[in-house]
Structure 1
């Protein structure tokens, strides 16, 4: 998904249709690869793919309604029992899930993407962890944002910023050929940082 987001931004900067075609082909392929065996996680699973789709929609790279586009992803996510999740990390836990839920709510216009039971279960889990206060600052920030939304149902101030997931700012020249392609610490992230900063 990180590579797809990078091609989207390269297309926007260059207006070269080859990048739009690459983005669309990769996106179609990614959506076609969704299956029941895929993990929930942000790094290589439903929440990361869903976040990327919402980002593309809300940034105007593709057209559609996020609730409709992500309907199958949302069903898969609601099948996981959030009350039993103990991992709070971005890559494989609740932080990644919160990123997806928050961007998804942000993009929702007429109907919410999840049912009330799921929102309630997520709220109870997040509140328990936030009240304990023994998590990383990024999780506490997202958890507090979700709790505020759940309690007030008021507009979210969730940032539409792909750079929040980009890791190290540079790759040594001799490492480019062996660097991973992804967003976090790979070439996609390096390119996005150069395009957007």
Structure 2
């Protein structure tokens, strides 16, 4: 498994950013999901080490986008699932955790964000303050919308998880 994963990640690294929909946080979340669900064996800290380094290279203090797709909400999903799966060593350094905490606290205290961001932000802040394992749900369906696709529209429908065919098929498989 690790050789296959190394090959995939080697080709994926070029040109990616932290976006959840098409970047490091989404890839990392998917890997952690597979590991924690028992679909593959391995240690998330080791498997995602290079992804974590790439993510820490982005300055979280300057992020203004709070969306799931390309902002802090997606980053929080990855950080929380990654912490949840940590066995021995935390995945990021203390400076990164501290910077993320300060940014999230500022936004949560302002309260002018979507409920999903506020929920994740509060969950992260609680973890940071107490270092007790977050009650983060291991559920891929939390990212799936409810697209309704007519048979004749399938060939022109988006492929994505959120509002596309991948999400529609996953929902049908798991529910």
2:131 maps to: 153
Please list, as runs of the form range in 1=range in 2, the aligned pairs for 1:108-123 lying within 5 A after superposition: 108-123=86-101
Residue number among 82, 87, 91 corresponding to 1:104 in the alignment: 82
- Structure 1 unaligned residues grouped into runs of 5+: 1-23
How many pairs are equivalent?
173
Please list, as runs of the form range in 1=range in 2, the aligned pairs for 1:173-188 lying within 5 A after superposition: 173-188=151-166
Secondary structure of 1:33's aligned partner:
helix
1:13 maps to: none
> Distance in 1 between the 2:61 and 2:11 partners?
27
Please list, as runs of the form range in 1=range in 2, the aligned pairs for 1:1-197 lying within 5 A after superposition: 30-197=8-175
C-alpha RMSD over aligned residues = 1.6
Moved beyond 3 Å, runs of 4+: 27-30
TM-score in terms of structure 1 length:
0.84
Structure 1 residue 77: deviation in Å?
0.3
Structure 1 residue 62: deviation in Å?
0.8
The answer to which structure, 1 or 2, has the higher relative contact order (CA under 8 A, 6+ apart) is 1
Structure 1 residue 142: deviation in Å?
0.1
Question: Is the 1:169–1:193 Cα contact (8 Å) retained in structure 2?
Answer: no
> Distance in 1 between the 2:8 and 2:158 partners?
18
> Distance in 2 between the 1:85 and 1:147 partners?
17
> Distance in 1 between the 2:90 and 2:14 partners?
23
- Structure 2 unaligned residues grouped into runs of 5+: none
> Distance in 2 between the 1:36 and 1:121 partners?
26
